């Protein structure tokens, strides 16, 4: 690279995160799918007033056979389109709350273990390893079985089973950054450990955390769908997994009952993965464009 280009880069500035995301077709596609899904969930009551669990038409109407029910009806005469719209609420709510819990626990444990190290770090990592020895889906099943199949309990179970991934990631970032020059400067100025963790190191560790969080949300949706398929979902809240579980008995004669909510799950999980890939590229300073 010539000295002129080097001086241009040094004198310029990096493009914004939004500008970097706009250059990523994967991120834009993922964001568009997620916005459509969120809009569907928020407007479900406007498009489908009433209880989505009520019988509204003849059972097992195929998609397209009745314009009033474009996606057909299930074996109990319930509107499949209404179920998918309301099911988006349950799936996204559980996934987002569960991921939030895992991020809070994992970030706290990882930050303390990575910053302080020593005996405290060893104890926290041994606790993390204990949780990692248990398959996450099995742990979620046990917690829900002990508690109850409500949205709050399912979200809490997903958060408790998922936090070790965040903890290990944040610990690695803190171990790398705790000896950085800006941290040494903060210590020399008398900053407290709490201030250094929250205001100096954590903001610099957000990039991998954001990317990993997007993947955890996708995993949480799959876990919730698996629970619902096993009949461990909230009976008062329609969900995509519950629709798949209810339609499996008619899979030979009415395959659309499992295919349509399955497509919804695939689309949202794919969207979060695409958004995660886009964020990974956008947050990588080596892939950012420099503006003179």
Side-chain half-sphere exposure of 129, counting CA atoms within 13 A: 7
Give pLDDT tens digits for 204-250. 888 888 888 888 988 998 898 888 888 887 777 888 888 888 888 88
Beta bridge partners of 14: 290
Residue 201 has pLDDT above 60, yes or no: yes
Give pLDDT tens digits for 91-115. 888 889 999 999 999 999 999 999 9
Average pLDDT over residues 114-121: 89
Tell the CATH topology of 27-40+77-291: MetI-like fold (1.10.3720)
Give the SS3 label for residue 67: coil
Phi, psi (5° rounding) for residue 233? -95, 170
Which sign does the torsion angle of CA 127, 272, 255, 247 carry?
positive
Find the helix or strand (DSSP H, E) in which 116 lies.
Answer: helix 80-116
Phi, psi (5° rounding) for residue 14? -75, 150
Q: Report the alpha-carbon distance of residue 159 to residue 223 in Å, rounded.
A: 11
Q: Report the alpha-carbon distance of residue 39 to residue 42 in Å, rounded.
A: 5
Residue 35 has pLDDT above 80, yes or no: yes
pLDDT of residue 5: 36
Average pLDDT over residues 64-69: 87
pLDDT of residue 292: 55
Give the SS3 label for residue 132: helix
Which residues contact residue 208 at a Cβ distance below 8 angstroms, ignoring those fewer than 6 apart? 169, 173
Q: Report the alpha-carbon distance of residue 137 to residue 127 in Å, rounded.
A: 18
Say if residues 51 and 86 touch (Cβ distance below 8 Å): no
Q: Kindly report the pTM of this predicted structure.
A: 0.82
């Amino acid at each position: 690279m010539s000295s002129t280009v080097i001086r241009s880069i040094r004198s310029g500035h990096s493009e914004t995160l939004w500008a970097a995301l706009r250059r990523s077709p994967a991120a834009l596609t993922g964001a568009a799918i997620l916005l459509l899904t969120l809009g569907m969930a928020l407007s479900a009551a406007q498009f489908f007033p009433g209880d989505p669990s009520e019988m509204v038409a003849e059972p097992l109407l195929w998609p397209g056979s009745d314009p009033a029910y474009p996606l057909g009806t299930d074996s109990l005469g319930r509107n499949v389109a209404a179920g998918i719209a309301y099911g988006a609420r349950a799936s996204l709510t559980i996934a987002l709350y569960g991921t939030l819990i895992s991020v809070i626990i994992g970030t706290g444990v990882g930050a303390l273990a990575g910053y302080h190290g020593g005996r405290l770090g060893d104890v926290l990592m041994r606790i993390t390893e204990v949780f990692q020895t248990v398959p996450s889906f099995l742990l979620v099943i046990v917690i829900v079985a002990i508690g109850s199949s409500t949205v709050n309990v399912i979200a809490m179970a997903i958060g408790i089973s998922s936090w070790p991934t965040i903890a290990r990631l944040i610990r690695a970032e803190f171990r790398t950054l705790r000896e950085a020059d800006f941290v040494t400067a903060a210590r020399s100025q008398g900053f407290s450990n709490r201030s250094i963790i929250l205001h100096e190191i954590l903001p610099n560790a957000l990039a991998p955390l954001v990317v990993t969080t997007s993947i955890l949300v996708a995993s949480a949706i799959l876990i919730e769908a698996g629970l619902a398929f096993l009949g461990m979902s909230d009976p008062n809240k329609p969900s995509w997994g519950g629709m798949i579980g209810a339609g499996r008995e008619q899979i030979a004669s009415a395959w659309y009952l499992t295919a349509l909510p399955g497509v919804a799950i695939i689309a949202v999980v794919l969207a979060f993965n695409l958004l995660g890939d886009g964020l990974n590229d956008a947050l990588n300073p080596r892939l950012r464009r420099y503006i003179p």
